Amino acid sequence: MAMERRTYKVDAMDGNTRLDRWCQRILGSAPNSVYQKALRSGRIRLDGKKAEGSARVFEGMQVEVRGDITSPDKAQAPREKQPMKLSLEMAQEAQSYVLYKDKDILVINKPAGLAVQGGSKVTKHLDGMLPALQFDGKQVPRLVHRLDKDTSGVMLLARHSAAAAELQRGFVNKTIRKTYLALVVNVPNPYTGEIESNLDKVARGEDSREMVRSVEEDGKRAITRYRTLEHLAKTMALVELEPITGRTHQLRVHMAEMKCPMVGDGKYGGGAAHVKGGVELSGKLHLQAWKIYLPPMFGKAEREFEAPLAPHIAQSLESLGLSLPE
């Protein structure tokens, strides 16, 4: 049986980055070791040739993928020193996340605080809970994108390899669109607009985690569209965000640099992100993956899925007297 080959053309927004990072962002959120192995074996090629993960990709280059790189078979799956133990309680919890299910996809509502993948000192993560979401499928569902641990909301899972490839193409071609909801301090000026900057990683912050900032030169192009849905005088606002690009912490950085940090985002907003006096608000990050739009695919018309508000965000809006538009 011939090995499936897929070719992706690098666009301007995703160019000038390392090949292994491009793979993680475009092909799916598998561990870097999966892509490194595929690169060494030649199953991922750059402009028809074998390349190292450190090679840089630029607009117009072509990345060829041979076979299902993220398949969880023995030849490709990264070895875990301590696989996550999936208890009956965790399996039931995972199943409670499901918002929609058909033969091709699952739509789930990831809670804030749940990591998508494992790592150092991470004992509970969505990746380890995926076997509980197999249901009547022949394969364990696969991750095709990710959310930060502190971000709640809607996520897509592929129920088989063909669906994973189709969804990944949708993300690459930007026909699948994500909309976020954020409660921010202050009110954006103007109320509606587009933010564009080049983002680059900087030295780790005080909490030993990755930080990002806008830079004048180098960096990766990042574009965010925003719309103020409702505001409380000039002190707080409920904002709809659409990332045109998918850079690390892009939405958080862009809001903070507008002097409108997200409530609970001490990393980028500092003390201003923690509201004091008056109404007591949760210290959790007030950012949610709110909606995800799918174009016609899998023999179905276009669809949009929406996650219910995370409890801490719903409570904050109620306390402030804010609400979602009808």
| Residue (of 152, 157, 156) closest to 180 by Cα position | 152
Q: Which uninterrupted H or E stretch holds 104?
A: none
Is residue 36 helix, strand or coil? helix
Of these residues, 20, 73, 148, 200, which one is catalytic?
148
Report how far Cα 107 is from the mean position of its chain's Cα atoms: 14
Q: Are 284 and 112 spatial neighbours (Cβ–Cβ below 8 Å)?
A: yes
Q: Could you write out the DSSP letters of every residue in 12-29?
A: GGG-SEEHHHHHHHHT--
Q: How far is CA 23 from CA 181, 201, 252, in A?
A: 27, 18, 23
Q: How far is CA 285 from CA 6, 90, 217, in A?
A: 38, 23, 30
Q: Are 275 and 185 spatial neighbours (Cβ–Cβ below 8 Å)?
A: yes
Q: Are 166 and 297 spatial neighbours (Cβ–Cβ below 8 Å)?
A: yes
Q: At 302, which amino acid appears? A: E
207 classed as catalytic? no
Q: How far is CA 230 from CA 27, 310, 326, in A?
A: 36, 18, 12
| Residue (of 221, 111, 135, 238) closest to 183 by Cα position | 238
Pairing of strands 152-158, 192-202: unpaired
Q: Which uninterrupted H or E stretch holds 223?
A: strand 220-232
- Among all residues, which ones are annotated catalytic? 148
